[in-house]
Structure formats: C-alpha cells, structure tokens
Amino acid sequence: MCAPPSAIRNRSSKYVIIRPTKQKGKVSAQLARAFEVPEEEISRILPPGDVEVVERVGME
C-alpha cells in the first residue's frame, strides 16, 4: 500500500517512508526482503524514478 505518512502511521505497524534519489534498484531489493514479498511487487508500487528510505518503522 502507498499513502501519505500521516495516513500510514495510524494504520500499520510496519512501513517505510521514501523520497526521490538515485537508488531504486537497491531499495526495491531491500524492501522486498524486509516485507517478505517478491522484488517485482515492490518495484510495481514504487513511484517512477529512484528513491531512498527516509524512515523505517517496525523492521530492522
């Protein structure tokens, strides 16, 4: 699920906040492992362009 941070904070105990950068390939693989889903599923929901993780909640 993708949503503004204010909407996610009250509805999920495990989430990440992302912002644009130059690391999409690396981030999608990391998030796939953290959420235990295929990397293709993560790549499909990430915004176009490159992103980085700003905050992780409920995971290592």
**Within a domain: residue 2?**
no
pLDDT of residue 39: 93
pLDDT of residue 49: 82
Looking at the 3D structure of the chain, how many domains does it have? 1
**Within a domain: residue 41?**
yes
**Within a domain: residue 20?**
yes
46: amino acid identity, one letter: L
Q: What is the pLDDT of residues 9-45, one digit of tens each?
A: 888 999 999 988 875 567 888 899 999 999 999 989 8
**Within a domain: residue 24?**
yes
pLDDT of residue 26: 78
pLDDT of residue 2: 83
Q: What is the pTM of this model?
A: 0.73
DSSP per residue, 8-53: HHTT-SSEEEEEE-S-HHHHHHHHHHHHTS-HHHHHHHSPSS-EEE
Write out the residue range of the structural domain in which residue 44 sits: 15-57
